[in-house]
Amino acid sequence: MKAVVLAAPGQIEVRTLPDPAPARDQVVVRVHACGICGSDLQLVDGTLAGAAYPFVPGHELAGEVVAVGADVADLRVGDRVAADPSLPCGTCAPCRRGAVNLCRRFGVIGASVDGGFAEYVALPARNAYVLPEQVSYAAGALLEPFACVVHGFQRLAPPAGSAFLVVGAGAIGLMLLELALRTAPAEVVAVERHAERRAVAERLGARAHATVAEALATRPEGFDCVVDATGVPAAVEEAFDTVAPGGRLLLFGVARASDRVRLAPYRIYRDEITVLGSMSVGHAFAPALELVAGGAFELERLVTHTVGLEGFAEAVELLRRGEALKTHVIPSLVDGSGAASAR
């Protein structure tokens, strides 16, 4: 099979690898769509821990089961599935108390083992969720980031009537806005420097501003729930300064492990501000699938570009420049020129 391989940091190759065969507890999935995520940029750059170079990246995948291992009872060849890429060890202290996303030996399909930027991927059957008929492969490949958003939202637990601010309206920020608009918050605002992304946020029903200062000018008392969806230290510092007394700041964007920010401890004390983190999917994959299957979310609208495997390297640069919202790699697409085609 053909697959994208990160041979080493900064080294993207398309290689021919042996077709995977399923272990006893695994299925093999023919990949129909696999999304490129901000964290894939860090894997390309070598700044994210836990990657086992050389490996096949891709953790936002959906496809069709083409082989099942001897011990797999609940999946059949032909099933349409999406994958939760989480591989908790199951035996460390956080795993034992059910906090699988905090696993001390957390593995991820597409980082610690080969992932979905390939024609085929082998994965544990328990990681595969069958897609109802009405959920497309494109939506299926968006379930992983959406599940992360659902988990983050559960952590934030915005009280009814909150003013909600998302800094960064990329694919994740837009999903956060959409979830906020359909639940408790009374006011939903985005800060995003790219005009096209602001337009998407506005189409969803949010108010959008180019800078944090502009957003704060419309609401000097601050926002009850603020989410940083950039992972950029300067943006996190600005986001912190917009939190209203008694409010909450959720750090959703993936910063580099070496990054540091300057926050005023006096404000955390005086205004009882809560700073939260949100790591990965947790137990939110099934609830996310239920929300999408219910028809209230049309995640496919976030897919702005599709490429074949050969187009991966160029698509990574497109995402880096902020020109793509969500790019799906479709392994069956043959893009000889490597050009990402906009949808």
Which residues form the interface with Zn ion (CB under 5 A)?
Answer: 37, 88-89, 92, 95, 103
Beta-strand (E) ranges in the chain? 2-8, 11-16, 26-35, 60-68, 80-83, 86-87, 107-108, 120-124, 128-130, 163-167, 187-191, 207-209, 223-228, 243-251, 274-277, 303-307, 326-329, 341-342
How many CB atoms within 10 Å of residue 26? 24
Bridge partners of 118, per DSSP, are: 3
Per the CB < 8 A criterion, the answer to whether 165 and 242 are in contact is: yes
Distance CA 51, CA 180 (A): 33
Residue recorded with tokens 């909150």: 162
| Shortest reach from residue 40's CB to Zn ion, in Å | 7
Instruction: Kindly state the greatest CA–CA separation across the chain.
Output: 61
Distance CA 198, CA 169 (A): 7
Q: Compute the Cα dihedral for 214, 234, 150, 51 and give only its sign.
A: positive
| Shortest reach from residue 270's CB to Zn ion, in Å | 36
Distance CA 25, CA 87 (A): 13
| Shortest reach from residue 247's CB to Zn ion, in Å | 27
Query: Is 37 or 309 the residue whose CB approaches Zn ion more closely?
Result: 37
| Shortest reach from residue 39's CB to Zn ion, in Å | 5
| Shortest reach from residue 161's CB to Zn ion, in Å | 31
| Shortest reach from residue 315's CB to Zn ion, in Å | 14
Query: Is 238 or 300 the residue whose CB approaches Zn ion more closely?
Result: 300
Query: Is 147 or 244 the residue whose CB approaches Zn ion more closely?
Result: 147
CA atoms within 13 A on the CB side of 149: 25
Query: Is 215 or 227 the residue whose CB approaches Zn ion more closely?
Result: 227
| Shortest reach from residue 299's CB to Zn ion, in Å | 13
Query: Is 4 or 243 the residue whose CB approaches Zn ion more closely?
Result: 4
Query: Is 37 or 232 the residue whose CB approaches Zn ion more closely?
Result: 37
User: Which one-letter DSSP state was computed for residue 186?
Assistant: S
Residue recorded with tokens 């190759």: 13
| Shortest reach from residue 106's CB to Zn ion, in Å | 7
Query: Is 100 or 309 the residue whose CB approaches Zn ion more closely?
Result: 100
218 Cβ contact partners less than 8 Å away, ≥ 6 residues apart: 189, 207, 209
Residue whose C-beta lies closest to Zn ion:
37
Query: Is 146 or 223 the residue whose CB approaches Zn ion more closely?
Result: 146
